[in-house]
Amino acid sequence: MKRIIQLFVSAIIVLTFLLPGTLLAKDKKIIVGGKNFTEQYLLSELAGILLQDKGFDVTLKTGVGSVIARKSLESDQFDIYFEYTGTAYTLYYKQKDMEIMTVPEKVYDWVKKADEKKNLIWLDPVKFNNTYTLMMKKSQADSLGLKTISDLAGYVNENPDELIFALDSEFWERPDGFKKVMKTYKFKLPAKQVKKMSIGLTYKALKEGLVNSAMGFATDGRIAAFGFVNLIDDKLFFPVYNPVPVVRKEVLDKYPEIREILKPIADNMTTEKMQQLNASVDVEHKQVREVATAWLKEIDAIN
Amino acid sequence: MNKLMGKTYRLMLMLIILIAGVMAERTGLVEYLSDPYEYPVIIELLVQHLYIVAISMTFATIIGLGAGIILTRKRFRRYAGICMYIVGLGQTIPSLAVLAIAMSFLGIGLKPAIFALSIYSILPIARNTLAGITAVPTSFIDAARGMGMTPLKILFEVELPNAMKVIITGFRIALIINIGTAALSYLIGAGGLGDLIFTGISLMQTEKLLAGAIPITLMALIADGLADFMGYILISKGLRLSG
Amino acid sequence: MSTIQFIIDNYAQVLFLSWEHIWIVGLALMIATVIGVPLGIFITGHKNLASRVLNGANILMTIPSIALFGIMLPILALVNLGLGKVPAVIALVLYSQLPIIRNTYTAIKNVPGPLVDAARGMGMNRWELLKEVQIPLATPIIIAGLRTAAVMNIGIAAIAVYIGSGGLGVYIQQGIDRVYPEMIMSGAILVSLLAIIVDGFMAMLERLATPEGIKLQRNILR
């Protein structure tokens, strides 16, 4: 009996130490976080590969929502992840100044300064703008004559029960999200016309005609591939979303080379390239790591 | 000693309720539930959830009961073991996996969700129907045959009533699992209260979390009581008291 | 088939996630056993407590898993442990209580009265009675309870991915997010395989633990 208890307890202790991850402890460890859509999976993989190439022991913790990612960074559970300037400005800091948020440099400087007080450092921004978009199938947009979100608003107000919309919960709730869009553009979609699902599924739902319009990301490769169009944000509601690696000050102080290591991404990534990479993963179903590695080799960032 | 246990138990219960109340207030749950814009959304989700549960349970009960009964008939008795084994295997498959597989084949929305849930709920009902009917003492059935009852009559007046307790237990298990798994159907685009829970998690909004988690828990507990009630009605008094 | 191709291509990640999954479930089961079995034994001696404990565990298991995660998150977030493996393991331990406690309780209670009397007649004290008679006879049923708990936990651990615990659920979650059918199927199949294997393994353990005499008894009755 005693032996069984001893065995048990030692098994528990051993198991606790074999916690996946702690076993292979190298010197330079870093946790790279990421959100739950393809572009984020790609960006975190890019960062991870670059860091690994320079000798870091990288752990990827991806697939969480924005707020969780942010909280994880603040509570030291992430060391670094790519955040969007517009998201930090409107969601975390709840700011609304249109003058600032529609100008890339201004919003970047604003959030950079604000986060310094929290010991979070914003490194070099990547130049593309991955804004939220409202998408429709080109065929339907053309037949209904809808080009801008204002057009959509007008149509919904006249025919409230016709259009069904797909979006994810985060977009619904955010201050730069759908509820606010409806307020700004003065239309109201009845609750039952709004279908909530995870981000990836919104594209699928729109493609299969289960909904008439869906939320999307501007740099998603599927927009072109599936024949969607983006409704024009004529009231300039959405802020600018440049992705920037945000790192904890403590980690940056320890490894100041991180800024240099990640520079190739900021220097070389464009909107078109991001769309291509996204499409490789989403449409051609290539693997994230494969696509990321291929691009890094293409720009000579790694051998 | 027992008196002390009783007192401690009651104290703990009161403490839990108190904490729950304070939590509800502080996390803005009460506020959220009475928000005039959110309220209809919550109700809508609740209705969706109940809809999914009701439809899938109906399918599952019909098929499960039917299968269980058929497998106890003379002709099919030998297949009972294999069938139960296969369906048992099916239930080892985690609920999330069943939903995900259904989505891969049937697309997104209500259809795959109801399909997956129906399949998932069949086993407890089928297995318990089978076990319950098999456990009816053969002496009863002999007596019934002796009295001249047709097989159909035997089924409805002897076998089923005697097996009812076990069948209802199976129904109860299936129902509770169903309610819980229906919460996951949000992930494949079918709505339901899971919406509130997953949104609450991803946005770290506790009031949403609780607004989703508590109704589901209450539903499950009510379902438990419902099953007891059904037992009360459907099981004849003699059996109930002896069981 | 493309799903198998996916698994082969990513075998390193597959192994890692499988290990994460097994780790969470294994740890939870062990802690649950350490808590549940002694508790089950204890309540055989206290009838009032027994019904209360069993009821409590029953209620725990009635709560849908995702709801339990939902309720635990804000509480644990106060100590910064809201996400990750910790709440997952805690939830799994709680869920495992009912099958383990109930089976332990039933198993020990079902040890035939005459045997207990005989043992007492031989002069065994409470501990010896437990050690030499009750536990060995109860073991197969306790293992059956562990088996139920194990299979259940594997399923719930797949859901726990949504509170950041990792494990094979990652494939299902990411697969849905990225609309990547091969990944979804891989996740679903791998978790199912794991559950089936563990189930079979524990069934074997159950049979091994059944003393020869009881096996004979069962075969005769059949």
Cα C152 from Cα C91, distance rounded (Å): 12
Give B104's contacts in chain A (Cβ within 8 Å).
Answer: none
B147: exposed, middle or buried (Cβ count in 10 Å: 0-12, 13-18, 19+): exposed
Across the interface, which of B40, B107, B202 has its CB nearest the CB of A191? B40
Average pLDDT over residues B29-36: 66
Which residues does chain B have within 8 Å of residue A192's beta carbon, measured at their own beta carbons? 44
Distance of CA A273 to the CA centre of its chain: 16
If we measure between CA atoms, which residue out of A58, A41, A87 comes closest to residue A261? A58
Residue B151: what residue type?
P
Listed by start position, the domains of chain B span: 1-34, 38-242
End residue of a domain, out of A179, A202, A230 = A230
Per-residue pLDDT at B9: 62
Please compute the mean of the pLDDT values over residues B217-233 and round it to a whole number.
Answer: 85
Query: What is chain A's mean pLDDT, rounded?
Result: 86
- Give CA–CA dist C10/C149, Å, rounded: 30
The total of other beta-carbon atoms located within 10 Å of residue A51's CB is 22
- pLDDT band (50, 70, 90) for residue A23: very low
Same domain, A178 and A208: yes
Give how many domains chain A has, as a whole number: 2
Render pLDDT for A61-92 as a digit per residue (tens, 0 to 9).
887 778 878 888 888 888 999 999 988 998 88
| Token representation of residue C119 | 């043992």
ipTM of the complex: 0.77
For residues B100 and B184, give the distance between their C-alpha atoms in angstroms, rounded to a whole number.
10
Q: C123 falls in which pLDDT band (50, 70, 90)?
A: confident
Give the Cβ contact number of residue B96 at 10 Å.
31
Predicted local distance difference test score (pLDDT) of residue C9: 78
How far apart, in whole angstroms, are the C-alpha atoms of residue C150 and residue C29? 7
| pLDDT given at position A18 | 61
Judging contacts by C-beta atoms under 8 Å, the chain C residues touching residue B98 are 188
Residue A56 domain boundaries:
25-129+241-298
Cα–Cα nearest to B115, from B173, B177, B182:
B182
Q: What is the DSSP string of A30-77?
A: EEEEEESSHHHHHHHHHHHHHHHHTT-EEEEEEEE-HHHHHHHHHTTS
Query: What's residue B4's pLDDT?
Result: 55
* Structure-derived torsion over alpha carbons of residues A53, A56, A57, A58, reported in degrees to the nearest 10: -70
Which among A178, A201, A230 is the end of a domain?
A230
Percentage of chain A lying above the pLDDT 90 cut? 28
How much is the pLDDT for B35? 65
Decide if A169 and B202 are in contact by the 8 Å CB cutoff.
yes
Whether the predicted pLDDT of B39 surpasses 80: no
Q: How far apart are CA A302 and CA A53, in angstroms?
A: 7
Fold for the domain defined by C2-221: MetI-like fold (1.10.3720)
Element holding A260 (H helix, E strand): helix A258-268
- Asked whether the beta carbons of residue B204 and residue A170 sit closer than 8 angstroms, the reply is no
Range in A136-145, A267-276, B141-150, C176-185 with the lowest mean pLDDT: C176-185
Q: Is A229 helix (H, G, I), strand (E, B) or coil?
A: strand
- B-chain residues within 8 Å CB-CB of A196? 186, 191, 195, 199
Q: Which residues of B touch A169 (CB under 8 A)?
A: 195, 198-199, 202-203
**Interchain contact, B92 vs C64, CB within 8 Å:** no
Q: At A93, is the secondary structure helix, strand, or coil? A: coil
Are A243 and A43 contacting, i.e. CB atoms less than 8 angstroms apart? yes
Least confident of A104-108, A263-267, C73-77: C73-77
Report whether pLDDT(C54) > 60. yes
H/E stretch holding A84 reads strand A80-84
B147-183 pLDDT, tens digit each? 888 888 888 888 888 888 888 888 988 998 899 899 9
Choose from A100-104, C62-66, C70-74 the range with maximum mean pLDDT: A100-104
pLDDT band per the 50, 70, 90 thresholds, residue A235: confident
Beta strand A57-64 with A29-35: parallel, antiparallel or unpaired? parallel
Query: A285-303, pLDDT tens digit by residue?
Result: 888 888 999 999 998 887 6
Contact B108 A201 (CB under 8 A): yes
* Min Cα–Cα distance to chain C from A193, Å: 22
Q: Is the pLDDT of residue A252 over 60?
A: yes
> Within 10 A of C186 (CB to CB), how many other CB atoms are there?
25
Residue C176 has its nearest CB partner, among A16, A200, A282, at A200
Structure tokens at C152: 């259940």
C-alpha span between C74 and B23 (Å, rounded) = 9
Residues from chain C that touch B97, judged by Cβ atoms under 8 A, are 155, 158, 172, 187-189, 191-192
> The domain spanning residue A162 has which CATH number?
3.40.190.120
Tell me phi and psi for residue A57, to 5 degrees: -95, 100
Q: Which regions of A173-220 does DSSP assign to beta strands (E)?
A: 194-196, 213-217
CA distance linking residue B212 with residue B216, whole number of Å: 7
pLDDT in the model for residue A277:
92
Residues A246 and A107 in one domain: yes
- B interface with A, Cβ–Cβ below 8 Å: 40-41, 44, 107-109, 186-189, 191, 195, 198-199, 201-205
What is the predicted pLDDT for the residue at B45? 87
Q: Can you give the pLDDT at residue B25?
A: 64
Share of chain C above pLDDT 70, in %: 91
User: Tokens representing B23?
Assistant: 């939590």
- H-type helices in chain B, by residue range? 2-26, 29-33, 38-70, 80-92, 95-106, 110-134, 138-146, 151-154, 160-182, 194-203, 206-234, 237-242
A21, pLDDT greater than 60: no
Q: A39 or C214: whose pLDDT is higher?
A: A39
Question: Does A47 have pLDDT greater than 80?
Answer: yes
Task: For residue A155, give both structure tokens.
Answer: 């149509």
Most distant CA pair in chain C: distance in Å?
68
Parallel, antiparallel, or unpaired: how do β-strands A243-248 and A80-84 relate?
Answer: antiparallel
Integer angstrom CA distances of residue B5 from C35, C38, C56, C109, C120: 19, 18, 14, 22, 29
Read off the pLDDT of each residue in C114-132 and give the average, rounded to a whole number: 81
* C175, C181 contact by CB (below 8 A): yes
pLDDT of residue B19: 67
Q: Is the pLDDT of residue A199 over 60?
A: yes
pLDDT category of residue C22 using cuts at 50, 70 and 90: very high
User: Which residue among C64, C196, C199 sits closest to B183, beta carbon to beta carbon?
Assistant: C64
Furthest C-alpha separation in chain B:
68
Q: Cα separations (Å) of C141 from A224, B149, C28, C136, C146? A: 60, 40, 19, 10, 9
For residue A294, the surrounding DSSP H or E stretch is helix A288-298
The Cα A93–Cα A103 span in angstroms is: 17
The pLDDT assigned to A116 comes to 92
Q: Do the Cβ atoms of A23 and A50 come closer than 8 Å?
A: no
Q: Looking at the domain that runs over B38-242, which CATH code has it been given?
A: 1.10.3720.10
List, for residues B4-23, the tens digit of each pLDDT value: 555 666 666 666 776 676 66
Q: Which residues of A touch C173 (CB under 8 A)?
A: 36, 63
Whether the pLDDT of residue C69 is over 90: the answer is no
Average pLDDT over residues C51-69: 82
Q: What is the mean pLDDT of chain B?
A: 81
> ∠ CA(A99), CA(A100), CA(A106), 5° rounding?
135
pLDDT in tens, B192-224: 888 888 888 877 777 888 888 888 888 888 888
Check residues A17 and A284 and name the one with the higher pLDDT: A284
Scored b (16 or more CB within 10 A) or e, A254-290 reads ebeebeebbebbbebbeeeebbebbbbbbbeeebbbe
Contact C172 B5 (CB under 8 A): no
| Alpha-helical regions (H) of chain C | 2-9, 11-43, 47-62, 65-77, 85-109, 113-121, 126-128, 135-159, 169-177, 181-209, 212-221
Coil, strand or helix at B120? helix
pLDDT value of position A294: 93
* A136 and A116 share one domain: no
Give the one of C9, C80, C177 whose C-beta lies nearest to A75's C-beta.
C80
pLDDT at position A28 is 83
Q: Taking CA atoms, what residue in A is nearest to B45?
A: A192
Residue B185 to residue B191: CA distance in whole angstroms? 7
pLDDT single digits (tens) A147-172: 898 988 888 888 888 888 988 888 88
Q: How far apart are CA A199 and CA A185, in angstroms?
A: 23
